Structure 1
C-alpha cells in the first residue's frame, strides 16, 4: 500500500495526546493509536488494554491486527480472557488507511456463558461469585457495547476530520508551493526573455553585431570625449551597402539572405581584427564601420581596399557560388564642427555615389555630393507638384525619310519647366521620376498628350505616319500597362497604327518573356514598336529575333564615329542589312553632319532623326512644318 501521508504528518501528536487522555478519563476506557507501520503513536491507560485473547493460544499481537486491516477488514472486535472486549477501528483518509485506534471495556460483546465459566478458575473467582457476576453483566452487554462502539465511531470521525483538515492544508501548501515554483520559473523565463530582449535591443539578431542603437551610444560618447580634447584627431565613418541584395532575397529566400549577412559580418570582423574599429549592422543591407581616430586618408584607403578584396571573390554558400559586391561611402569628420546625423547622412550619400560608379567601388565624401543630393531632393519635391501645376510639355522631333527628305513621323519628348527650378533636363529628372514611381502618372500624361496631338493633326489632314513616345521599364512592368495604352487610344480616338512606343534593350531585358507578351498584344492591335538606342545595351541578336518590333533605332554613339573610319561604316552597314533582312525599318539617331547623312543614305538607312534636320520642336513649330508640307533641307532646319 502506497501511503501518501503519515498519521503523524496529518495530526499533531502533542495535541492528540491531550485529547485522548481527556476522552479516556471521560469514557473510562484505555485508548491507543497505532500507525500503519505498527508503531504506537499516542495512548492513554495503556496498561488496561487487553493483551490476551479469550481464545487460548490465539495470536493477538498488534502486528496481526495491522495485517488484517491491510487485507481490508475495517473494524475488529476481540474478546479478552479477562472478560473485556477490544474494539479496533480504522482511520481512513483519502481512501487510505493511515492508522488504527484500539480501545477496551470490561464487558462482553456477546454473552458466552460456557466459555466464561471455563475462565473463572483462571482468575481465582469462586464459582458462585463468578456466575453471579456473569448474570449481572448480561443486562449491560447491549447498552455498554453500543455506547463504546458509538464512542469509537465518533472519535474516529473526529480524527478523520482533523486529518482531512490537515490534508487540505497540505494540499493548499502544495498548491502555494506549486504556484510559487511556477512563478519562480516564470520569473526566470521572463528574466531570460528580458535578457534576450536587451540583447536584441543592442545587437542584430542575424549577424550578432551591435546595432544602430548601440552605435549611437558609442558614437555620442566618442564625440563628447574628443570634443573636449585640444588636439583631437579626426574620426571616420564607413557605410557599406551590399549591391542587389534584394534580388538575393527574392530569388533564393530570406533565410539564404540572412546567411549572406552573417558571413559578411564575420568577414568584416576578421578583416578589422587588428584595427581600432567598431563594426555595426546598420540597416537591411548595410554595415557601418566607425574608426574613432584617423591620421591620414591613406590609412582608410588601405582598410577599404582590404574589404573590397574579400568581396571580389565568389563565396560558396550551400550549393551556390555567390558573388556579393559592395559599395562603400567614406566620410572623414571633425568631432567639433558636425553632428552625428550629418555624419551618417554624408557617409550614406558617398555610398550611393559609389553605387553609381559601379560594383565594388568606394567614394570619399565631399561637399559636392551633398549639393547633388540636395538638388535631387528638390527635384523630387517639385516633381510631385509638376503635373498638377501643368509644368510639363512635349516637344516633337521629326523623323525624316533619308531619300526624299519628307517627314514620316515624330518622337514626342518630355520637357519640364519648373516654376521653382526653371528648366530641368530630362536626363536629370526622368531617373528620379523612375526611382520614385512618379513616372507612372507622368508617363500616362505623355501618352495621352501625344495621342491628343496626333488626333488634332490627323483631323487637319497633315501627312505623317506616327508619333512615338518613350516607355520606361517602370511603366512596362505595370500590370495594367497594356490596358492603359488601349484605354487612351480608345479615349482619344486615334488609329493604333499611328501610335508607336519606343523601348530600350535594358527596359526589355527585365522580365523579358512577360514584356514580350505585352508588346505582342499591343502589336496585334496595330501599335508600332521601336527598339531604341540599339547597340548600347545587350545587343543580343539571339533575342532580337524574338522581339515583336517594327523598327530599330541605331544609337547616336555609332553615328558620331561613322565619319572617322571604315570599321564604323561597316558596323552601320551590317546593322542596316540585318534589320532589312528581318523586315525592320531602320532609324539613325543623333545625326548632325551632312557627311553622316550621305554615308547613311549610301548604307540604305531608312530614316534620320537629329539636329541635322531639326531639333525637338514645340507643337506649334512642328505643326507649321506639317502645314507647309515642305520637304526638309539643311536651310529649313
Structure 2
C-alpha cells in the first residue's frame, strides 16, 4: 500500500478499522476483539479453531458467559485492568477446556474495546516443564536430586522444623563398576533406589546426589529411632541384587547423620557435618552409621584450617619442610639413597602428621602444588650437594595415586629435574599400593615414560596394600620396599619371616632391588642380611634428618651410590 506524507509530516491514507480487521484475519496467530461489555465484535479463523467455536456464532455474545473458565484463568480481571489503565499486558494462562497453554497479548483500542492476540505455547511449556523436572530429578532413578534436597532443607530451616540429614554411601560400588561395567552398576543403583524408597514414611524424602550416595531427609531426630530406621536400610543393601544369570552383588553401606538445629543452622553446615560423620563411619568398615558430634566438629574445624593454608599456597611461610632418611647397604654401611618425607610445623596447630595433611591435600586438589614445593626443597639440596661434593645419593619421593593419574605428571617431573640439574637416574618414584591405579592406562604411561628416562620406580609398603603381585605384573617396577609390618615380626612371628624370604626370592626372580623399611634392631638387620636383603632403612641407623643434619653426617664421605 502506497502512503504519502503531508506537509506536516503526518501519514495520509492511514488504515481504517476495516483494513486492520482484514489484516488481523490473515494472521497466523489467533485474534479477537471485545466491546466494552466484553461481547465479541470480531474473531478470526485461527481463534475459532483454538476455542472450538464458529466465529460467526460468537459475534455479539458475551465472552464470560460463553467461556466461563476464562474468568477463573484471570482474563476478565486482566481486561478490566487494561480498560482502567490503558496499558497493554501479556499473560500466560492454562486454558483447561482445550488442554492448552496460551500466551495472551491484550490492549485497549478505544471506547473500552479490547483487542486480543493469543497463540498456543503448550509445546514450549512442556519443554520448560521437562527441563524443570530434569533440574530436580535424577535421570537414572527418578528420585529427586541434590538440588531438590537442598531446596527441601532450606524449606525446613525456614520453618524452623527440626529434621535429620542422613547421608547414605554404598561401599565397594566402584569395584562393582570396575568388575562388571557401568551398565551393571546402573542396574544395581536403580534396584537399591527402589528398595530405599520403600522405607519412606510420611514426611520422609530420599534423593540421589551422586554415583553411590543418597540423602534422606526425615523429621526423626531421636538417636534410637534413627538407629532402627537406618538398620532397615542396611538390610536392603545386604540383600543381593541379581546383575545377570550368574552374577549377583551385595554391599555394606556407610552412613553419617547431622541434625537441625543442634548440629548446624545452614544447608552447607548440615551437609558438611553429615559427610564428616559418614567418612568416620566408613573407617569402621561394614555397615555402620554415626551421628555427628562435637569431637567431629573439632576435627572438621581443624581440617578447614589445614585446607585454608593449602589454598593459600604459602607453604614456605607456614612451616612446611622436608626431612630425609638414609637408605644403606646393611652389610657395608654404604649410603645408597635417601627417602624424602614431608613435615609440617603449623604455626597454629603445631606438628602435623603427613597421614593427616596429605589426604586433605588430595581431597582439596592441592597435592600437586604441595609436591612441587617438596621437590623444590629436596632437589635444591641435591643440586647443592652435587656441586659441593661431586656426587649425590638417589633421591626417592613418595607419589600419590592422584599425581600418577594426572596427564601433567611426567612433564612436571622432568621439568623439575632439569630446573635443578638433577640426573634422572638419581631420582626415584615411590608408589604406594593404591588399588585405584591398577586399572589406569595413564598411570602406566606416566611410569613407563619416567622409567625410559632412567628414573627408578619403587613400590612402597609392599605386601600390605591391595595386591602387590598385581603391581609387579602390570607396572614397570625396579625396586620393592618391604613394609615394616613384616620386618617388625622378625624373631616373633614365624609367618612374617617366611613371607620375607618369599619376597626376597621373588625380587631376585624379577631382577628387582630390595629395601627393608622400619629396621630397628640388630636381630632384624642380621636376619635380613642372612636372607639376602641388603638394602635397609630405619631407626636402627637413623631417624629422618633435616637436610643440613643429613649433609653433615653423610655427605662428606665418598659416595658411590
Q: TM-score, normalised by structure 2?
A: 0.70
Q: Could you tell me whether the CA contact under 8 Å between 1:397 and 1:617 is conserved in 2? A: yes
| CA offset digits 1:543-590 (Å, max 9, x no partner) | 515532222110011111112132222221221122123222211111
Partner of 1:552: 480
Partner of 1:400: 328
Gapped regions of structure 2 (runs ≥ 5): 1-20, 27-42, 53-93, 103-119
Relative distance call for 1:338 and 1:416 in structure 2 (3 A) is closer
Separation in 2 of the partners of 1:256 and 1:539?
25
From 173, 179, 195, the counterpart of 2:44: 173
From 311, 315, 322, the counterpart of 2:241: 315
Q: Could you tell me whether the CA contact under 8 Å between 2:188 and 2:241 is conserved in 1? A: no
**Aligned 1:74-89 pairs, distance under 5 A:** none
Partner of 1:299: 225
Separation in 1 of the partners of 2:231 and 2:48?
63
Q: Could you tell me whether the CA contact under 8 Å between 2:192 and 2:236 is conserved in 1? A: no
Relative distance call for 1:554 and 1:257 in structure 2 (3 A) is closer
Gapped regions of structure 1 (runs ≥ 5): 1-165, 227-234, 632-637
Separation in 2 of the partners of 1:492 and 1:256?
49
1:327 aligns with 2:254: yes
Q: CA deviation at 1:346?
A: 2.9
Partner of 1:278: 204
Q: CA deviation at 1:304?
A: 1.4
Relative distance call for 1:388 and 1:587 in structure 2 (3 A) is closer
From 268, 280, 284, the counterpart of 1:357: 284
Separation in 2 of the partners of 1:579 and 1:168?
93
Q: Could you tell me whether the CA contact under 8 Å between 2:345 and 2:352 is conserved in 1? A: yes
Partner of 1:215: 152
Q: CA deviation at 1:355?
A: 3.1
Q: CA deviation at 1:526?
A: 1.6
Q: CA deviation at 1:613?
A: 0.8
Q: CA deviation at 1:508?
A: 7.5
Q: Could you tell me whether the CA contact under 8 Å between 2:438 and 2:470 is conserved in 1? A: no
Separation in 1 of the partners of 2:226 and 2:497?
48
Q: Could you tell me whether the CA contact under 8 Å between 2:385 and 2:555 is conserved in 1? A: no
Separation in 2 of the partners of 1:271 and 1:307?
8
Q: CA deviation at 1:457?
A: 1.4
| CA offset digits 1:305-361 (Å, max 9, x no partner) | 22112112332357875546532113456x689635354443332123223433543
Q: Secondary structure at the match of 1:271?
A: coil
Q: Could you tell me whether the CA contact under 8 Å between 1:454 and 1:494 is conserved in 2? A: yes
Q: CA deviation at 1:411?
A: 0.8
**Aligned 1:555-634 pairs, distance under 5 A:** 555-629=483-557
Partner of 1:506: 434
Q: Secondary structure at the match of 2:198?
A: helix
Moved more, 500-509 or 300-309: 500-509
Relative distance call for 1:365 and 1:604 in structure 2 (3 A) is same
Q: CA deviation at 1:530?
A: 1.4
Separation in 2 of the partners of 1:336 and 1:362?
18
1:488 aligns with 2:416: yes
Relative distance call for 1:345 and 1:483 in structure 2 (3 A) is closer
Relative distance call for 1:282 and 1:215 in structure 2 (3 A) is farther
Q: CA deviation at 1:213?
A: 5.5
Q: CA deviation at 1:490?
A: 2.4
Q: Could you tell me whether the CA contact under 8 Å between 2:325 and 2:537 is conserved in 1? A: yes
Separation in 2 of the partners of 1:260 and 1:533?
34
Q: CA RMSD, aligned part only?
A: 3.9
Relative distance call for 1:250 and 1:168 in structure 2 (3 A) is farther
Relative distance call for 1:236 and 1:444 in structure 2 (3 A) is closer
Partner of 1:73: none
Query: Which is greater in Rg?
Result: 1
From 515, 518, 521, the counterpart of 2:446: 518
Q: Could you tell me whether the CA contact under 8 Å between 2:326 and 2:339 is conserved in 1? A: yes
Aligned residues: 455
Relative distance call for 1:504 and 1:217 in structure 2 (3 A) is closer
Q: Secondary structure at the match of 2:490?
A: coil
| CA offset digits 1:582-633 (Å, max 9, x no partner) | 22221111112222122222222111111111111111101101244399xx
Q: Could you tell me whether the CA contact under 8 Å between 2:197 and 2:206 is conserved in 1? A: no
Separation in 2 of the partners of 1:538 and 1:248?
16
Q: Could you tell me whether the CA contact under 8 Å between 1:202 and 1:213 is conserved in 2? A: no
